Chain A
Amino acid sequence: MSFGIVPPFLLDRVASTDKPHLARAARAAQHTLLAPRAYRPQRVRLQLSVDGDALVAETSPSPDRTIADAHNTETLPGDTVRTEDQAPVTDDTANQAFDGLGITFDFYWDAYGRNSIDGHGLPLDATVHYGQDYDNAFWNGERMVFGDGDGDVFTGFTGSITVIAHELTHGVTEASGGLDYQGQSGALNESISDVFGVLTEQYHLGQTADQASWLVGAGIFSDHVQGSALRSLKAPGTAYDDDVLGKDPQPATMAGYVQTSDDNGGVHINSGIPNHAFYLAATAIGGKAWETAGLIWYKTVTAGTLVSSADFATFAKATLAAATAEYGEDAKEVAAVRAAWSDVGVLSDGGD
């Protein structure tokens, strides 16, 4: 059974009309009837308040989360352990994933009016306890997947909101047209996930740009590792320096751009450059970063005009265009974005 705003019997009537002036409408109705329409109920939050004599009802979207447990196998999705209406379970990892998805959902809705990953209330699915000693978290195009870590280097991934929001943002980028996961476009894909990862945490903690740590993955290393986090937007290349892991290889500027065939052309390495540009823009503007620099980056990613093969310069110019459209040519926000890309060596002072 399918549902739509126009009932099928009306579409039938319009589709079968032979009146010449309705020919276009008839074709449209026929097309609509042929298109598959899946019914997907969406959750909403209902808030009631009293304003004088009036009862005010406000609704907003609500997440629809399902957490599964892979029981340390690599079989997805695993067994469902918690759904949206269920109370916390005994497994802290499942609860952390559930809470992190909820915080990220709230961030995207409150900050940008985005209803879930696709903007249309897509359910948020995650699997925890994936694999044996699995040192990773990833987005597979359908769900977020979290390993437990090996205990020696990583202690798990669900405890960090930046990690959860990073993975979910890969879904947002993909739903917005995507960025090829190779070279500079791949590094932009990674950077966008880092940017909205840290912004989700800042939103959750109510931090301004100057109060934030700007770290991705703080707290996921074991005590054996000499490092505070995986990456730093504030100071790329300084997040860790460890006997086993080596030194954080991220450059902050184009002068340190790393040419490599590893890691899809260094997508997790050269992302340090756009990461730092965002940090510079956000701190120059000041205040809550998700409201200004974050809004500019969000509009750039979701405008639908960014080509999937975009390099750093293309993306930088797109952020300048988004900032100008939002704040006007002479605004301090535009100047801050221009200076940031210039400081990291992606654009010249003139913005070219």
Chain B
Amino acid sequence: MEETEQPAVTVTVVRTGGFAGIRREWSARPPEPERSRWVMLIRQCPWDDQDAAGPAGVDRFTWHIEAQLGDDDRRAEVPETGLHGPWRDLVAEVQSFEQEREGHAS
């Protein structure tokens, strides 16, 4: 049986706020062999059920997460206190993807 090729996947994570107020950005464009795992990670996140609560306390982070699965574009703004479960897994994957890419580049 022929496997269906997964659409191009791009995930961008932006962290704003925090005591330092420094904006940080990480992104990942995984190659084809890894895409099905990334699609699962993205689909596990509660994109339509975002925590409406603001950051719990001053100087906390806000995470802006955007995922593109082919033509399907999803965005979410997640306060630091809501970054757990699948959101945290996705952010950690994007950060380690970029870290590994930088490791290979250097």
Q: B7 within 8 Å of A by Cβ?
A: no
Q: Are A268 and B58 in contact (CB under 8 A)?
A: no
Residue in A closest to B21 when the chains form the complex, CB atoms: A268
The smallest beta-carbon distance between B34 and chain A, in angstroms, is 24
Binding stretch for chain B, among A11-19, A57-65, A163-171: A163-171
Q: B82 within 8 Å of A by Cβ?
A: no
Chain B, 62-82, contact with A by CB distance < 8 Å: what is the 0/1 string? 101000000000000000000
Contacts of B60 in A (CB 8 A): 136, 138
Which listed residue, B19, B22, B23, B56, touches A166 by the CB 8 Å rule? B19
The smallest beta-carbon distance between A236 and chain B, in angstroms, is 12
A138-B57, A139-B58, A181-B58 in contact; A163/B17 too (CB < 8 A)?
Answer: no
A262-B23, A263-B62 in contact; A268/B17 too (CB < 8 A)?
Answer: yes
Q: Are A140 and B22 in contact (CB under 8 A)?
A: no
Q: B61 within 8 Å of A by Cβ?
A: yes
Q: A215 within 8 Å of B by Cβ?
A: no
Contacts of B18 in A (CB 8 A): 135-136, 138, 268
Contacts of B23 in A (CB 8 A): 246, 262-263
Q: Are A217 and B21 in contact (CB under 8 A)?
A: no
Segment 14-44 of B: residues with Cβ below 8 Å from A = 14, 16-24
Q: Are A135 and B57 in contact (CB under 8 A)?
A: no
- A220–B17 alpha-carbon span in the complex (Å): 17
Q: How many A-B residue pairs have CB under 8 A?
A: 70
Contacts of A196 in B (CB 8 A): none
Q: Are B21 and A139 in contact (CB under 8 A)?
A: no
- A135–B54 alpha-carbon span in the complex (Å): 19
Residue in A closest to B20 when the chains form the complex, CB atoms: A230
Residue in A closest to B14 when the chains form the complex, CB atoms: A262
> What count of chain B residues pass the 8 Å CB interface test?
20
Q: A200 within 8 Å of B by Cβ?
A: no
Which listed residue, A189, A217, A264, A267, touches B20 by the CB 8 Å rule? A217
Contacts of A268 in B (CB 8 A): 17-21
- A293–B18 alpha-carbon span in the complex (Å): 27
Q: Are B61 and A136 in contact (CB under 8 A)?
A: yes
Residue in A closest to B92 when the chains form the complex, CB atoms: A132
Contacts of B100 in A (CB 8 A): none
Q: A290 within 8 Å of B by Cβ?
A: no
B-side binding surface: helix, strand, loop or mixed? Answer: loop
Which listed residue, A140, A157, A163, A267, touches B57 by the CB 8 Å rule? A140
Q: Are B57 and A264 in contact (CB under 8 A)?
A: no
Residue in B closest to A245 when the chains form the complex, CB atoms: B22
Contacts of A269 in B (CB 8 A): 21
- A37–B55 alpha-carbon span in the complex (Å): 32
Which listed residue, B24, B59, B64, touches A137 by the CB 8 Å rule? B59
- A289–B55 alpha-carbon span in the complex (Å): 33
Contacts of A262 in B (CB 8 A): 14, 16-17, 23, 62, 64
Contacts of B55 in A (CB 8 A): 181, 264
Q: Are A230 and B57 in contact (CB under 8 A)?
A: no
- A190–B19 alpha-carbon span in the complex (Å): 9
Tell me which of B21, B23, B54, B61 has the highest count of chain A C-beta atoms within 10 A of its own C-beta: B21
Contacts of A141 in B (CB 8 A): 57
Residue in B closest to A227 when the chains form the complex, CB atoms: B22
The smallest beta-carbon distance between B16 and chain A, in angstroms, is 4
Q: Are B21 and A137 in contact (CB under 8 A)?
A: no
Segment 129-161 of A: residues with Cβ below 8 Å from B = 135-141, 154, 157
- A268–B59 alpha-carbon span in the complex (Å): 9
Q: Are A136 and B20 in contact (CB under 8 A)?
A: yes
Contacts of B54 in A (CB 8 A): 181, 264
Q: List the 9 closest pairs (A to B, CB-CB), nearest first.
A: A268-B21, A138-B59, A140-B57, A262-B16, A136-B18, A263-B16, A137-B19, A263-B17, A170-B58
Knowing that A189-B58, A245-B22, A269-B21 are A-B contacts, what are 10 other residue pairs whose CB atoms are under 8 Å apart, sorted by A's residue number? A136-B59, A136-B60, A138-B19, A138-B58, A167-B19, A190-B21, A246-B23, A264-B62, A268-B19, A268-B20
